[in-house]
Amino acid sequence: MGKINIALLGFGTVGKGVYQTIHTHQHHLLELLGDHVEVSKIVVENIDKHSRYNKEELFTTHFQKVLDDPDIDVIFEAIVGIEPAVTYVKNALKSGKHVITANKEMFAFHGKELKNMADKHNVKIGFEATTGGGIPVMQTIEHLLQTNYITKTTAILNGTSNYILTEMRLHGLSFSEALIQAKKLGIAEADPTNDIEGYDAFYKLMILSDHIFGEQPCWQSVKRQGISHLTQEQIKEWDTCNQRIKSIATLYLNNNKIEASIEPLILNENDPLFAIEGVENAITLEGSIVGKITLSGPGAGALPTASAMIEDFRLIYSLTRTPVESV
With respect to its own copies, which residue has the nearer C-beta, 291 or 323?
Answer: 291
**Contact between 171 and its own copies per CB under 8 A:** no
Which residues does 111 contact at the CB level (< 8 Å), separation at least 6? Answer: 127, 206, 207, 210
Of 293, 277, 247, 302, nearest to 137 by C-alpha is 293
Q: How far, in Å, CA of 109 to CA of 325, rounded?
A: 38
Q: How far, in Å, CA of 300 to CA of 284, rounded?
A: 18
With respect to its own copies, which residue has the nearer C-beta, 265 or 293?
Answer: 293
With respect to its own copies, which residue has the nearer C-beta, 47 or 290?
Answer: 290
Of 169, 172, 204, nearest to 282 by C-alpha is 204
- Least Å from the CB of residue 32 to its own copies: 6
* 257: annotated active-site residue: no
Distances (CA, A) of 15 to 7, 8, 42, 134, 302: 10, 7, 9, 15, 8
**Binding residue for its own copies, selected from 10, 111, 134, 159, defined by CB under 8 A:** 134
**Contact between 314 and its own copies per CB under 8 A:** yes
- Least Å from the CB of residue 186 to its own copies: 17
With respect to its own copies, which residue has the nearer C-beta, 195 or 280?
Answer: 280
**Contact between 287 and its own copies per CB under 8 A:** yes
**Contact between 322 and its own copies per CB under 8 A:** no
**Binding residue for its own copies, selected from 1, 30, 47, 275, defined by CB under 8 A:** 275
In the stretch 101-120, what mask flags binding to its own copies with x, by CB under 8 A?
A: --------------------
**Contact between 4 and its own copies per CB under 8 A:** no
- Least Å from the CB of residue 145 to its own copies: 9
Name residues contacting its own copies, limited to 248-267 (CB under 8 A). none
- Whether 5 and 40 have beta carbons less than 8 Å apart is answered as yes
Of the residues 41, 104, 124, 204, only one is catalytic, namely 204
The secondary structure of residue 138, as a DSSP letter, is H
Q: How far, in Å, CA of 77 to CA of 43, rounded?
A: 10
**Contact between 235 and its own copies per CB under 8 A:** no
**Contact between 307 and its own copies per CB under 8 A:** yes
Query: CB burial class (10 A; 0-12, 13-18, 19+) of residue 244?
Result: buried
The overall longest dimension of the chain from CA atoms, in Å, is: 66
With respect to its own copies, which residue has the nearer C-beta, 55 or 143?
Answer: 143
**Binding residue for its own copies, selected from 201, 303, 316, 324, defined by CB under 8 A:** 303
Report residue 66 CA to chain centroid gap.
24
How many CA atoms does the CB half-sphere of 231 hold within 13 Å? 3
Q: How many residues of this chain bind its own copies (CB under 8 A)?
A: 42
Which residues does 31 contact at the CB level (< 8 Å), separation at least 6? Answer: none
**Size (the chain), residues:** 327
Catalytic residue list: 204
Residues that bind its own copies (CB under 8 A): 21, 25, 28, 32, 134-136, 139-140, 143-144, 146-149, 269-270, 272, 274-275, 277, 287, 289-298, 301, 303-304, 306-308, 310-311, 314-315
